[in-house]
A and B are shown apart, each in its own frame.
Chain A
Amino acid sequence: MSTTTTERAAAGTADYLDQRTGLGKAVKEFARKTFPDHWSFLLGEIALYSLIVLILSGFFLTMFFVPSMTLVTHDGPPATMDGVLMSEAFSSTLRTSFEVRGGLLMRQIHHWAALLFMASIVTHMMRVFFTGAFRKPRELNWLVGTTLLILGLAAGFTGYSLPDDVLSGNGLRITDGVIKSIPIIGSYLSYFVFGGEFPGEDIIPRLFTLHIFVVPGLILALVGVHLFMLVLHKHTQYPGGGRKDTNVVGFPLFPVYTAKAGGFFFIVFGVIALMGATMAINNVWNYGPFDPSPVSAGAQPDWYMLFLEGSLRLMPGQGTEWVIGGYTLSLNILVPAVIVPGILFTFLFVYPFVEAAVTKDKREHHVLDRPRNVPVRTALGVAFLTAFIILALAGSNDLIATHFSLSINAITWAFRILIFVGPWFAFWVTKRICLGLQRKDRELVLHGHETGRIVRFANGEYIEVHRPLDDQERWLRVNYDAHRPLEVEPATDSRGVRRKGYKQDRRMARLSRFFYEDRVEPVTPAELEAAHSHGAHDEIGAAAGREEIGSGSTH
């Protein structure tokens, strides 16, 4: 009986809402929408959920944080800070930590959530990059995502600076130095940011507005766009039987995906709470309030800022500050702090468009690539990560030096060389590995699994029995496109007139050759047929396959 009453009540509410909003259409459309399942699709979800945790814990902190640089004498715990002259921002951070119940927990949850937020954005981007999920029609969403990465850096940096402690104050000071190095307007820009000379009395309130209003507002707006496009495009799916560019295979949004995603939010929140409870982070009372004089060695920014720190550390100062007509151009700062990140982010922003251009690819893609099947993309991605990691390690060169008792100068020199050699080497190795894996796939498709079973023929020959792949296994390994380099049309048309755009085409073709010159074609049914007809042990088939492999680079 009771079910019918609840059912009737639900129906009544639904009817009320539908008459006023037309909700029924949306529910019909979305309730059973299909979501593919894969662990790597959770990375983006972690980013979303840690953002929610950031907003919840951040709201808690705003109740107690005082964004002011007015100097006060701190009155209260901890004992080491009692009676010390400090800004209200620092004093209120101490009060949040020691006098607000759960205040330190919320600070630590907020900080760990920020680190997890950035880590999940970066790994989510890696998933999207290496599987080619940025291809048409998702290029715009890749741009939105890359912008979110930058906004995440901004959110983290502005938040990190708020407590006004010695460490974050030095971070601001470095920022001031970088701003001042900008040609022509540098010193004015520094005044613009700090409201006068560094540090002034405005920067903390300004950062506060950015941190709790402007940056989160932009992030939320773009997350909205990001998810809207996700629904519009529907999710990509990994290759496999029945997965096509024209369908989406998975579980219905309601109830399976809702339960999994909703549950996963609580798991992410729970893990962050566990970190906040058990792992101390940013104990600002040990550093003390900002003062432009003291500084400690071995101080590290949060991990997502390390690459900039490392970039600044690696640049040699000798001969890199130029005076031109009496004006000072600080290349020793501009190159590492502006040009290097500029190159990194430009790569991220333009890559999907470059790849589409060298592939002359105008189709929609909803089935993901296996990374090995696009060797140059995968290798470029790994080279990029290698550069990022080398810079981040260089940002900890002093810790590496003390930890391994090495000379800091030697380490710096090693990194100066590595930053050029490392990415190149990573590219080369990754490309080789991808091509190797593709060849191995071919072998498998042509000859099946080794079974370890040896059979002796009547004529005395021994062979190992190979078990052919089943349909699903084979399909996974043969269902991909091995793109070919673009051909250039002749420089002159049929009447011998020079064609406009020929140079551009040739440049594109050269780039295209870089991408697709070395490639491994998928096995065709005819090849498989041939391999089978050559008997069970197939050396001949393998050789034929090899020949096929080399053929790409010969024109």
Chain B
Amino acid sequence: MSENQHSTDVTSADQNTFADPGIPEHQHRRGDVDAAASKRAERQVVVLFAISVIGTIASLVAYFAFRPDGTTSGTRLSTLTLGLGMAFALLGIGLAAVHWAKAIMNDTEVSEERHQLSSPDDVREAAVASLKAGVDDSGIARRGMLKGAALSALALFPLTIAVPLVSSVGGDWNVSKLRHTRWEKGMRLATDPTGRPIKASDVTIGSVFHVIPDVSEKERSSGEWLSEKAKAVVLLIRLDPRDLHEADDRKGWSYDGIVAYSKICTHVGCPVALYEQQTHHLLCPCHQSTFDVADGAKVVFGPAHRPLPQLPITVDDDGYLVAQSDFHEPVGPSYWERLK
């Protein structure tokens, strides 16, 4: 198996290529020639295994000594001590085994022949013959009907699983829900997360409110609420009316410089949360799309394409801000039939 040939002639017979000098000469380690070094290596391996045992014991001691008390620092201490014990227990074993292999076990390289991966020709022929015999036996080549029937049955049966699955996996499949949010005419704007309705007089110039529809406490702790909230969240900002450029068809959508825009980024839907007072820019932290609140929340930078949808607002008789209607377009990221 192993052969350490050392040829001295540099070139092979044809003189066009060099000759392979063979496996390099084996270098002996200290431990191979010096009994004391070998003994020392053995002792080192024993010590490493002993460190592992100590690590395990330390971990058990830590288990009893540091009980997590519910505070972050207590939990950290318990994590640290348990983990260090564990790490030593593992590293001791690992280093011992590797040191053993490297310092004590035989390190002479051996060479093994590789065998051709492909099967010999006669084996291939026999394989083809067996398959052919099988195909002939089944008669599949001659009986077209049979083949068709078998394939149809196999192709169809997954439907028995797929149809019930697909019918329910998408909930009610009513994708038109993407067009509507919880906002409706007269619904008050409330603060997120406390749910306190907002008076127009509370909104000073330059201030920003994170807003949800004013729904009952009960609705807000229901399972469906997060899905509704995921569409309905709004940012409320008051600008100096002189800074505000409004499109003609949206003149009546703001109230005294107060504008309300969907907080859901038109890129891929992150909450747009960072407002810069001086520039009136809203920045989406996810991919930095930047919207100009003073100018219809149009995109001024980044990967979003469309302005944030605007929620038309006004005030009710008690001076609370209310929605005039739902949004006039679907909020959030674009999808194929958005405009249909």
Q: Which of A's residues lie within 8 Å of B, judged by CB? A: 32-34, 69-71, 76-79, 85, 97-99, 101-102, 104-105, 108-109, 137, 170, 173-174, 176-178, 180-188, 190-192, 194-202, 232-234, 240-252, 255-257, 259-260, 262-271, 273-274, 276-278, 280, 285, 290-299, 309, 312-321, 323, 326-330, 332-333, 336, 364, 366, 397-398, 408-409, 412, 471-472, 474-475, 478-479, 524-526, 528
Interchain Cβ contacts under 8 Å between A and B, 14 examples? A174-B286, A191-B173, A249-B112, A251-B109, A255-B105, A257-B101, A260-B97, A260-B102, A273-B87, A318-B299, A333-B303, A412-B288, A471-B21, A472-B21
A200 touches B335 (CB 8 A): no
Knowing A241-B24, A259-B100 touch, does A278 contact B75 (C-beta < 8 A)? no
Residues of A within 8 A of B322 (CB): none
Q: How far, in angstroms, from A79 to B171 measured CA to CA in the complex?
A: 37
Residues of A within 8 A of B238 (CB): none
Interface status of B188 (Cβ within 8 A of chain A): no
Residue of A nearest to B18 (CB): A478
A318 touches B305 (CB 8 A): yes
Mark each residue of chain B from 262 to 297: 1 if its CB lies under 8 Å from any CB of chain A, else 0.
011001111101100000000001111100000000
A280 touches B227 (CB 8 A): no
Residue of A nearest to B100 (CB): A259
The minimal Cβ–Cβ distance linking A181 to chain B, given in whole angstroms, is 6
A251 touches B107 (CB 8 A): yes
Q: How far, in angstroms, from A302 to B14 measured CA to CA in the complex?
A: 57
B269 touches A176 (CB 8 A): yes
Q: How far, in angstroms, from A85 to B220 measured CA to CA in the complex?
A: 10
A263 touches B305 (CB 8 A): no
Interface status of B152 (Cβ within 8 A of chain A): no
B227 touches A260 (CB 8 A): no
B178 touches A291 (CB 8 A): no
A277 touches B95 (CB 8 A): no
A199 touches B305 (CB 8 A): no
Interface status of B143 (Cβ within 8 A of chain A): no
A180 touches B333 (CB 8 A): yes
Q: Which of A200, A245, A247 contacts B112 (CB 8 A)?
A: A247
Q: How far, in angstroms, from A408 to B106 measured CA to CA in the complex?
A: 59
A188 touches B173 (CB 8 A): yes
The minimal Cβ–Cβ distance linking B295 to chain A, given in whole angstroms, is 15
Residues of B164-197 at the interface with A, using a CB-CB cut-off of 8 Å, are 166, 169-173, 175, 177-178, 192-193
Q: How far, in angstroms, from A256 to B226 measured CA to CA in the complex?
A: 58
Residues of B within 8 A of A259 (CB): 97-98, 100-101, 105
Q: Which of B93, B114, B193 contacts A266 (CB 8 A)?
A: B93
Q: How far, in angstroms, from A531 to B109 measured CA to CA in the complex?
A: 35
Residues of B within 8 A of A412 (CB): 288, 301-302
B336 touches A198 (CB 8 A): no
B90 touches A270 (CB 8 A): yes
Knowing A259-B105, A295-B285 touch, does A328 contact B94 (C-beta < 8 A)? no
